[in-house]
């Protein structure tokens, strides 16, 4: 997505440890028009999948997920993230390891808002090691719902998450794909 | 706002301790169309204030804040919430006590995205004791930015936050105002 790549080139900064900082428009300050276009793009890509619900994980996934929900006219659920959470019969839960923060969070979705007829599109801001999407897939499995795929704003293609999801047969659509952040240079995957 | 009050009547549930649970459409599952209308309503209410930026606090404030930013065509910043955060010269921080969770969180906004010319509209999902808005006001004070006011999706008018903000001269616009949750009944303030 050209508009997104331009934003990344203009405002993204590379930090040590292959971190791409995009808090100018995505995960601290948010550009609402860009998020709308991101949502519209996901809606177009997944238009034929019969999506009934958007899932994401708080907090940075919420803006693109809500815009996707708006464009597709379906509800959005943001999974809550907890440092600790007692297992609860009203919740689906999965553990998600963060390589950046080196901590495990438990994510949860209330069973009340999951129907066996759901077909879920998972949205997230970043895909690196794929832990957040894996956690949502685990919940989808527990709940027995269909998965339309995953829509990612920025994929770090040089990290293992994207390949692992595609190898599992998950339809993955990433609006920007970063090939490398070597030498503080942002290099995109060729189209 | 009629559409919001109807949603609250239909899907809101009252829990012990004056808790109004609206995770069917606001803070776990999110209704994107409703959020768009909420954002458009705030945009209308604050249209003449010269707002340059929306501030909110993660996570439940993000959906209404981003829709308000979309409607007003201004950027949104969501303050990050941390259990602990070392003071950092690149960040404005304030401590926010949660009466519900009985914990203090430190919220932070990067100085990089704050300009002295900003006029900030603060958006949040709930106003009860007003701690989150007070925290953002403290940051606005540190940063020396003007405050247009606070836009709240659901105000619990029987708790002290709303009165305190109005007494301080803060313009407060709440789209639904709850007078009482006694006996598990949701009673709205008269118009």
CATH code of B155's domain: 3.40.50.2020
Percent of chain B at pLDDT above 90? 90
Percent of chain B at pLDDT above 70? 100
Query: Is this complex's ipTM strictly greater than 0.90?
Result: yes
| H or E segment and range at residue A30 | strand A29-30
Tell me how many domains chain B contains.
Answer: 1
Quick: pLDDT tens for A7-25.
999 999 999 988 999 999 9
Quick: pLDDT tens for A130-153.
999 999 999 999 999 999 999 999
- What are the structure tokens assigned to A102, written together? 């080196």
Nearest to A35 by CA among A143, A123, A136, A157: A123
Model pLDDT, residue A43? 98
Please judge whether B59 and A78 are an interchain contact, meaning their C-beta atoms are less than 8 angstroms apart. yes
Quick: pLDDT tens for B62-80.
999 999 999 999 999 999 9
CB A181 within 8 A of CB A14: yes
Q: Is B137 annotated as a binding residue?
A: no
Pairing of the two strands B53-57 and B76-82 = parallel
Quick: pLDDT tens for B109-159.
999 999 999 999 999 999 999 999 999 999 999 999 999 999 999 999 999
Q: How confident is the model at residue A57 (pLDDT cuts 50, 70, 90)?
A: very high
Q: Where are the beta strands (DSSP E) in B34-171?
A: 53-57, 76-82, 91-98, 103-110, 119-127, 146-156
Q: How confident is the model at residue A128 (pLDDT cuts 50, 70, 90)?
A: very high
Model pLDDT, residue B73? 98
Q: Is the pLDDT of residue A166 over 80?
A: yes
Range of the domain at A68: 32-176
Count of residues for chain B?
191
Quick: pLDDT tens for B30-52.
999 999 999 999 999 999 999 99
Q: Is B7 annotated as a binding residue?
A: no
Cα A73 to Cα A68: distance, rounded to the nearest angstrom: 8
∠ CA B150-B85-A25 to the nearest 5 degrees?
55
Q: Following CA atoms A23, A25, A27, A30 in sequence, which dihedral angle do they give, to the nearest 10 degrees?
A: 130
Whether A149 is in a domain gets the answer yes
As a whole number, the mean pLDDT across chain B is 96
Q: Is A62 on the interface with B (CB under 8 A)?
A: yes
As a whole number, the mean pLDDT across chain A is 96
Q: How confident is the model at residue B9 (pLDDT cuts 50, 70, 90)?
A: very high
Whether B188 is in a domain gets the answer no
Nearest CA in chain A to B25: A75
Nearest CA in chain B to A76: B30
Whether A79 is in a domain gets the answer yes
Binding-site residues of A for xanthine: 20, 27, 156
Residue B142 CB-density burial (10 A; 0-12 exposed, 13-18 middle, 19+ buried)? middle
Average pLDDT over residues A162-188: 97
Determine the distance from the C-alpha atom of residue B144 to the mean position of all C-alpha atoms in its chain, rounded to a whole number: 20
| Partners of residue B77 in chain A, C-beta under 8 Å | 28-30
Whether A159 is in a domain gets the answer yes
Of A33, A59, A77, which is closest to B29 when you measure between CB atoms? A77
Whether A169 is in a domain gets the answer yes
B63 to each of A108, B138, B147, how far by Cα in Å? 19, 23, 21
Q: Is the pLDDT of residue B98 over 80?
A: yes
Whether A190 is in a domain gets the answer no
Model pLDDT, residue A85? 74
Model pLDDT, residue B87? 74
Q: Is the pLDDT of residue A84 over 80?
A: no
Q: Is A179 on the interface with B (CB under 8 A)?
A: no
Please judge whether B59 and A62 are an interchain contact, meaning their C-beta atoms are less than 8 angstroms apart. yes
Whether B38 is in a domain gets the answer yes
Q: Is B148 annotated as a binding residue?
A: no
Q: Is B30 on the interface with A (CB under 8 A)?
A: yes
Whether B8 is in a domain gets the answer no
Handedness of CA B131, B135, B136, B137 (dihedral sign): positive
Model pLDDT, residue A98? 87
Lowest mean pLDDT among A78-92, B100-114, B173-187: A78-92
């Amino acid at each position: 997505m050209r508009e997104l790549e331009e934003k990344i080139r203009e405002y993204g900064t590379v930090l040590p440890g292959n971190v791409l900082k995009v808090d100018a428009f995505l995960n601290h300050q948010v550009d609402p028009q860009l998020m709308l276009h991101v949502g519209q793009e996901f809606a177009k890509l997944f238009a034929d999948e019969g999506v009934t619900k958007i899932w994401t994980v708080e907090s940075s996934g919420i803006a693109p997920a809500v815009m996707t929900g708006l464009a597709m006219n379906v509800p959005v659920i943001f999974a809550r993230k907890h440092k600790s959470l007692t297992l609860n019969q009203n919740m689906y839960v999965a553990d998600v390891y963060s390589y950046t923060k080196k901590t495990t969070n438990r994510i949860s979705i209330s069973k009340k808002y999951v129907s066996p007829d759901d077909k879920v599109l998972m949205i997230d801001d970043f895909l690196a090691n794929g832990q957040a999407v894996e956690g949502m897939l685990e919940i989808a499995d527990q709940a027995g719902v269909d998965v339309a795929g995953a829509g990612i704003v920025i994929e770090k293609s040089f990290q293992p998450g994207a390949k692992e999801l595609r190898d599992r047969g998950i339809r993955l659509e990433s609006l920007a794909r970063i090939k490398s952040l070597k030498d503080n240079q942002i290099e995109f995957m060729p189209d």
